[in-house]
Amino acid sequence: MPSESRTIDPVSSWFVRLLSAVVVTLLSALLLTPTAAAKPDDCSYRPVPPPPVDSSEVPKPGEPSPTPLPVPDTPPGGERMAECGHVLPGGVERPKGKITAKAWLLADLDDGTVLAAKNPHGRQRPASLIKVLLALAVMDELGQDDVVTASAADASQECSCVGIVKGQQYTVDRLFTSLLLRSGNDVAHALGSALGGNDQALAKMNQLAAGLGAVDTRAATTSGLDGPGMTSSAYDLALIFRAALAQPRFVEAVGTHEMTFKRRERKRPVTIYNDNTLLHDYPGFLGGKTGFTNDARHTYLGAAERGGRRLAVVMLRAEQHPMRVTDQAKRLLNYGFRLSRQDVEPVGTLVEPTRDASLRPREDPTTRDAEPDDVALDDEPTQAAATEGPGGATREIVVLVLIAVALITLLVLHRKTRR
């Protein structure tokens, strides 16, 4: 029986090869190329910070992992504060040079306007910047001449440390100033103990944050060491920093270049130097705070005055290369002062504190009843979803559709070429 002969149109054969090549290229691009949603700058990182790199945020045995704080439908500070990436006035270019911070903000401390920002409500870890919130609680609750006796737990905190000693007594004033100069985690723990213990100190700090309108902030440790649920944002830290700079006691402390500190009675005091180098080499610098943890990376707060304008800069999740974070802060401050001279349209405002709200403890979103204004939506991303990045499911659907189209096209061409 003679075999059936087939003739394939050369044009159809060429088309099949071309279509196959196009499909393979598209599939490779979709499956192997990281999406923009996976980058830390993306909005997927708005509800929660990026995943931790160590076990510092693992809850204690028997304690649940804190759920993300709700993301308000209306962002504090104006509509543009909900934007991701650079948030700049119309017609204004980005600051020149490499700014490594994943989130930053420039604000006028006097009128509360936000001049420019990047990911203003993107949630990151604050590291030692949270000590500014602790300082607010201390100024609210403790007198400068109050005496604190250091405990073994206070003295054994993970450093950076001032070097307080178990059983020694210190005035709140000396602890307060050294907290802001040296960023002592031991001092932060001692002041937390003086506020009634760690839990009560954190409750007070979070209560103050709520009263300031800092909806992205949850303190998990008094020192800024990473802990379960620790979160803040560039916008929130600008609110906290502005409130602190309204207190002369805080301004004096962060503007202090050095101080003597007696760790032990009958021992010679040591000299503690301010670790914020801009205090020494940036004209008009008023003071600020530095921070670092493995999970938070480098964080920074600073304020300066020039030409009758006081500006604050906040930087979160920054790196020391290719230039030091303090040098990046200088560039941002210079950029902010140029914008202020140009009288550009602000991109947002720092909300004013709500005195009544600050008197109420902040409720845990995992236990409170749902409220219409700030309840988290059912489809609000969890931490796992947020770190994966949106668009993963959509990308898979596109891949499947392309495969289906390619198979159908090849089947049709195959049938047409048989005869």
Residues 151, 167: Cα–Cα separation, whole Å = 6
Annotated catalytic residue, options 128, 160, 178, 233: 128
CA atoms in the 13 A half-sphere facing the CB of 345: 9
Beta strands 297-306 and 309-318 are: antiparallel
Task: Respond yes or no: is residue 166 known to be catalytic.
Answer: no
Of 183, 232, 340, 358, which residue is the catalytic one?
183
Torsions phi, psi of 29, nearest 5?
-65, -40
Contact of 127 with 317, CB cutoff 8 Å = no
CB atoms within 10 A of CB 308: 7
236, 214 in Cβ contact below 8 A? Answer: yes
Which of 131, 204, 289, 330 is labelled catalytic?
Answer: 131
Q: Is the dihedral of CA 354, 360, 361, 367 positive or negative?
A: negative
Report the alpha-carbon distance of residue 414 to residue 412 in Å, rounded: 5
Decide if 131 is catalytic.
yes
Tokens 């198979």 -> residue: 407
Residue among 200, 205, 47 nearest 132 (CA): 205
28 counts as catalytic:
no
**Catalytic residue positions, numbered:** 128, 131, 183
